[in-house]
Amino acid sequence: MAVKEMYRMLNFADLGDERGKLVVIEGNRDIPFDIARVFYIYGSDPTVVRGQHANRDSEFVLINVAGTSKVRITDGSNEAIVELNKPRQGVYLPKMVWKDMYDFSEDSVLLVLTNTHYNGKEYIRSYEDYLKVMEEGNNG
């Protein structure tokens, strides 16, 4: 998988006015899937690493709506690091990419949108297992 296939940066419109900023994100319009689940990560610090998994069925969009964080994205061969630091910008992650979120600022709120409801069975939580799956080409 080429690095450019592992993720895509998304920019969202600022629909605000003199009253303040407004960003609207709609499934299958602003992001490439219907939204089934929303969660956010906050209260982490620069030493914490979140994620550390790949998903067989889930696609993700990550947006730092406050503060900053970084995302390491890899397919086991290629790697990219994305800094999320604008509430109008997100990163789209397709199925079967490994993701680590880290270097959270004190005020970081990382919003995550996904196309599936939670199912722990579709997660690959061991990097070694992920590499084996990718090497075998059995990545669903």
* 117 catalytic residue (yes or no): no
Contacts of 111 (CB under 8 A, 6+ apart): 38, 39, 40, 62, 63, 64, 65
Residue 75: count of CB within 10 angstroms of its CB: 20
- Considering the candidates 53, 56, 88, 95, report the single residue annotated as catalytic: 53
Task: Report, in angstroms and rounded to the nearest whole number, the Rg of the chain calculated over CA atoms.
Answer: 15
Return phi, psi of residue 129, to 5°: -65, -40
Active-site residues, by number, are 53
